[in-house]
Structure 1
Amino acid sequence: MMQLALAALLALPIPLPDSTPPSHAQVLEIPPELRAQLHQRVPGSVAPGARRLELLVEFVFSADGLALEYGNSTTHTVADAWRTRQVNCLSFALLFTGLAREVGLDAYVQEIDQVLAWHQQGGIVYNSSHVNVGVRFGQRRKTVDVSRAEVMARHRPEQVADERALAHFYNNRGAELMAAGDSVAARRHMEEAIALDPRYATSWNNLGVLRMRSDDAIGAEAAYREALALDPTHASALFNIVGLFRRAGDEANAMHFQRRLERAQLADPFHQFLLGTQYEGRGEYERAVEHYRRAIRLHGDEHRFHFALARTWLLMGERRRAGRALARARELGDDDSRALYQAKLDRLRQDR
């Protein structure tokens, strides 16, 4: 979980994270015990760099190493991630990048801005982007991703500056504190995120949600508009500003931004995919096919889109079409999914 883009709903209390903003150094500090373990498992004399990376990955993930566990957990500092062994993608990226640099690797945080990863907690909808780690060896690059194949992404990851990575930390912490009901600490974290990277639209959107929840509609509108000036298709900011104007009874402005939101959603393959799953779940298969096919037109390389289409064709009794979609899913899938799709395709052919 990272780059949390919030959509305002009713607030429910959840456990309160630490409310004191850590310094930049505290966020990235590698505890002495962890540093000692690292150099024991990944000695600096090991060459070339690719071998050091292999040893580092083994140390981070193996049962006799850090044995990190991935999930939508609290955004931790490097030290807290080491102590708890619990990481979301941002905590992992900060920890792994720091350890990689400690053993002489050219590592950096990478950002994937459009992914299908969202959840609801504490009365707030979180629309999450994703980060992982890149490691450079001359002209070659390797990617280390704690989520494995769980994240559905539209674009390849891009390197971001350390300031952006730190801004994500404070932005995430701010969102977590807001959901926990500590608006003062949340504001301090969000303002730190904006100070580090004022051109990141999601931080402005989240500040708008905080202001709205603090009954500052004027401040919320200003923050949403700043987010949209930076990213005119930012779906969360559009959703939030529509709600703001609707609550104020300003239907003209609400409709203006609603049309902008609908245009953004039409161009978003993940939104179309989610609509398809909703219609499929309700048994409205023709509508589901319509949205799955639109998702594929927008982002045809995602194997799970083709598999969803195949599943819906099969529910409609369209076995030939289902077979074609399933074959395409198999072509595009990774090693794990390809075997599953092949087995389903074989079964479909046998049934014929």
Structure 2
Amino acid sequence: MHTLLMAASLALSMAASAAMAEEAPFPPPATVAVPSQAEVMHLPDDLRALLHERVVAPGGNADARLQRLLELTFEDGGLELHYDFEFTRTVAETWRDRRANCLSFTLLFVALAREAGLDARVQEAGEVLAWYQNQGVIYGANHVNAGVRGNGRHRTFDLDRNILATREHPRAIDDARAMAHFHNNRGAEHMAAGDVEAARVLLRAALADDPTFVAAWNNLGVLLQRESDLDGAEHAYQTALRLAPQSSPTLSNLVSLYQRRGNVGNVQRYARRLEKVQGGDAFHQFVMAVRCEERGDYACAIDHYRAALRLRHNEHQFRFGLARAYFFSGDIVRSQREMARAHTLANTEQDRSVYMRKLEHLKRWQEHSAGQAGRSL
């Protein structure tokens, strides 16, 4: 999964600097259980036995073990995992349920790889654009996946096939940071379910894991704002903003907070900052374009897709969106041009095949339209 982040609504984790390391919150009370790293990463006996039978016992070098681990993880007759966006599980819970979000899968894969003697780490991939059938485009989620090093190579493995674009290359993080992701997600999930005390404990645990974790500061701020502790919420948001001054969720949360406080000056100040950040954010422009499309405003969609492409001109998904908007606005020539560019930029054979079929469809559409016009003349 992505790391959950609430934005006076909920959200998922954000990368942060180490500048606030001295501001760790006080330890969580003991009334709510906080899973330890050992508990989160624990491999059940039957899963460990399966791993040793299928991956370790056949022998071979690290590359051979990694290949067998991939077969166990992704192929039929292996772990048989299914993607589940809704809930963050421990390794044992993922094995029990055969369901995982990105974070749960990553933790499972890393635990299995380490048990097989491989050098595996959790990785942060930064903010992503993702598409889920029942939720549409999600933006602002900080994605995680697994990385394995060996024989001078580094490889990345990911369960989520819904990622449209990533803002940056994955970077390995330490286990404390990985636990901050886990505790933050669990805290956000408890908050969404109305379990305020558990959410508070888990979010503070995330900040004890890593005091620079912006998503947890944001989520703690949301929790405090909902409880009308506006001073506490302001401190949490301002801490998040010092760690990540360009964070759209943090700026949005501050606008919401100051609106509630009736502080018009700060509302305007942070709204201007938010507008500036979003104006230079290709992912935000893409999401706005999709929303314009959904309400049938294709001129609006074209404007936002073009803005996104000015910022990131090599994203084939942006070209495809612009082609689609041109098509529905009736501009077949520009639609063909952008679809051809999307085909050129696509980095997988599957995407290129999709775009080629759509290009052929546009060509047939144009020929049909020309034929109809000729007959009418």
TM-score (ref. length: structure 1): 0.92
- Among 83, 87, 98, which residue is 2:111 paired with? 98
Deviations 1:231-270 (A, max 9, x none): 0111111111101100111110011011111111112111
Q: Is the Cα contact below 8 Å between 1:174 and 1:190 reproduced in 2?
A: yes
Q: Which has the larger radius of gyration?
A: 2
- Corresponding residue for residue 350 of structure 2: 336
- Corresponding residue for residue 333 of structure 2: 320
Question: C-alpha distance in 2, partners of 1:35/1:241?
Answer: 47
Q: Is the Cα contact below 8 Å between 1:107 and 1:133 reproduced in 2?
A: yes
Question: C-alpha distance in 1, partners of 2:267/2:55?
Answer: 57
- Corresponding residue for residue 133 of structure 1: 146
Q: State how 1:1-352 maps to structure 2 within 5 Å.
A: 1-9=1-9, 20-44=33-57, 46-117=59-130, 127-333=140-346, 334-352=348-366
Amino acid of the residue matched to residue 365 of structure 2?
Answer: D
Question: C-alpha distance in 1, partners of 2:309/2:181?
Answer: 30
What is the deviation of 1:274? Answer: 1.1
What is the deviation of 1:283? Answer: 2.6
Q: Is the Cα contact below 8 Å between 2:282 and 2:308 reproduced in 1?
A: yes
Question: C-alpha distance in 2, partners of 1:71/1:301?
Answer: 30
What is the deviation of 1:150? Answer: 3.3
Amino acid of the residue matched to residue 254 of structure 1?
Answer: V
How many matched pairs? 340
The percent identity for this pair of structures is 46
TM-score (ref. length: structure 2): 0.86
What is the deviation of 1:127? Answer: 4.3
Q: Is the Cα contact below 8 Å between 1:4 and 1:126 reproduced in 2?
A: no
Question: C-alpha distance in 2, partners of 1:45/1:62?
Answer: 18
What is the deviation of 1:156? Answer: 1.5
Amino acid of the residue matched to residue 6 of structure 1?
Answer: M
Amino acid of the residue matched to residue 291 of structure 1?
Answer: H
Change (3 A) 1:117 1:210: farther
Secondary structure of the 1:131 match is strand
Question: C-alpha distance in 2, partners of 1:190/1:178?
Answer: 10
Question: C-alpha distance in 2, partners of 1:44/1:153?
Answer: 37
Greater mean alpha carbon deviation, residues 329-338 or residues 258-267: 329-338
Q: Is the Cα contact below 8 Å between 2:131 and 2:164 reproduced in 1?
A: no
Greater mean alpha carbon deviation, residues 193-202 or residues 296-305: 296-305
Higher RCO, 1 vs 2 (CA within 8 Å, ≥6 residues apart): 2
Deviations 1:164-197 (A, max 9, x none): 1111000000000111111111111111111111
Secondary structure of the 1:112 match is strand
Contiguous gaps of at least 5 residues in structure 2 = 11-31, 367-377
Question: C-alpha distance in 1, partners of 2:9/2:357?
Answer: 43
Q: Is the Cα contact below 8 Å between 2:139 and 2:287 reproduced in 1?
A: no
Q: Is the Cα contact below 8 Å between 2:180 and 2:210 reproduced in 1?
A: yes
Secondary structure of the 2:6 match is strand
Amino acid of the residue matched to residue 168 of structure 1?
Answer: H
Secondary structure of the 1:42 match is helix
Question: C-alpha distance in 1, partners of 2:194/2:76?
Answer: 36
Deviations 1:209-240 (A, max 9, x none): 11111211100000000000000111111111
Greater mean alpha carbon deviation, residues 167-176 or residues 233-242: 233-242
Question: C-alpha distance in 2, partners of 1:117/1:170?
Answer: 22
Question: C-alpha distance in 2, partners of 1:218/1:118?
Answer: 36
Contiguous gaps of at least 5 residues in structure 1 = 11-18
Change (3 A) 1:118 1:318: closer
Q: Is the Cα contact below 8 Å between 1:117 and 1:129 reproduced in 2?
A: no
What is the deviation of 1:9? Answer: 4.8
Q: Over aligned residue pairs, what C-alpha RMSD do you find?
A: 1.9
Q: Is the Cα contact below 8 Å between 1:4 and 1:127 reproduced in 2?
A: no
